């Protein structure tokens, strides 16, 4: 059986992950690759329930410890119910966000001093063991421009309501994560047309993964 890859799309709010996920799915269909498309928080019935609880309400609803535990509870369900069965069945998995988001948002972004990055690594090992994405696409852009996109679209969630410095920290966090794991992560300039961003993503996939 051909290798089934796990690809994650990461980046700050409004950087265009959902738009790029859709373009990527069309590309995989054209290549006749069997895949599933999923997202975090969410991706299984239980994790979608947790998503509603995490993303609604005031921005101070959870401290960083509670928030992180909720994301990992959702992730465990997502892995067990959706991601691992798909990989075992030979399907590629494309996920809009995964664990790098927790490291960036809760580890670097929410600096309330209650938990550190080692705690997040510990929780990751507990829920996912040595399983990791084969390729992580990090969409990078000025958060001010990305938030203007989100504003224009409407429906801001809890995280999108955080102040600009939070989002600037996030950008640095994702770049730091990419620098630490260059064999897994590719940084792509998201402040280009959707078509150009997609072309860069396809280039990264074809350069790093074996399609047939
Ligand atoms: N979170 C998540 C954590 O804190 N910890 C975690 O562990 C995890 C997993 C998830 C939130 O939870 C946080 C991160 C998030 O804040 P979400 O609803 O999934 O919430 O939020 P996002 O992932 O940020 O999704 P968004 O829909 O807000 O942003 P996208 O998907 O990055 O952007 P997209 O594609 O919807 O585009 C936004 C707007 O820009 C336009 C689109 O048409 C759209 O209107 N656009 C472009 N405009 C110009 N040029 C381009 N190239 C464009 N691409 C898209």
* 88-143 pLDDT, tens digit each: 999 999 999 999 999 999 998 776 778 999 999 999 999 999 999 999 999 999 99
**Where are the extended beta strands (E) located within 52-210?**
92-96, 135-140, 185-189
Q: Is the pTM higher than 0.85?
A: yes
Average pLDDT across the chain, whole number? 94
The pLDDT tens digits of the residues spanning 46-59 come to 999 999 999 998 87
Tokens of 115: 């938990």
Name which of 190, 184, 189 is nearest 7 in CA terms. 184
Distance, CA of 88 to CA of 159 (rounded, Å): 33
Answer whether 191 contacts ligand 1 (Cβ < 6 A): no
12 lines ligand 1 (CB under 6 A): no
Ligand 1 atom at shortest distance from the alpha carbon of 152 = 45
Given a contact cutoff of 8 angstroms between Cβ atoms, the answer to whether 110 and 103 are in contact is no
Ligand 1 contact, 158 CB (< 6 A): no
**Ligand 1 in reach of 197 Cβ (< 6 A):** yes
pLDDT at position 160 is 64
């Amino acid at each position: 059986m051909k290798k089934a890859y796990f690809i994650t799309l990461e980046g700050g709010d409004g950087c265009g992950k959902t738009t790029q996920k859709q373009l990527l799915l069309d590309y995989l269909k054209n290549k006749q690759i069997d895949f599933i498309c999923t997202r975090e928080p969410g991706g299984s019935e239980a994790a979608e329930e947790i998503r509603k609880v995490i993303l609604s309400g005031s921005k101070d609803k959870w401290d960083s410890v509670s928030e992180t535990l909720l994301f990992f509870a959702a992730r465990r369900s997502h892995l067990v119910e959706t991601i691992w069965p798909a990989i075992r069945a030979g399907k590629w998995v494309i996920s809009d966000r995964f664990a790098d988001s927790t490291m960036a948002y809760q580890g670097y972004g929410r600096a309330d001093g209650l938990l550190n990055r080692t705690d997040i690594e510990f929780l990751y090992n507990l829920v996912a063991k040595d399983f990791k994405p084969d390729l992580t696409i990090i969409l990078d852009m000025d958060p001010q421009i990305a938030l203007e996109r989100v504003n224009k679209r409407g429906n801001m969630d809890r995280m999108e309501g955080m102040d600009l410095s939070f989002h600037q920290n996030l950008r640095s966090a994702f770049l730091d994560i990419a620098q630490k794991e260059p064999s897994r992560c590719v940084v792509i300039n998201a402040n280009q047309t959707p078509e150009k961003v997609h072309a860069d993503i396809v280039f990264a996939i074809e350069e790093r993964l074996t399609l047939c």
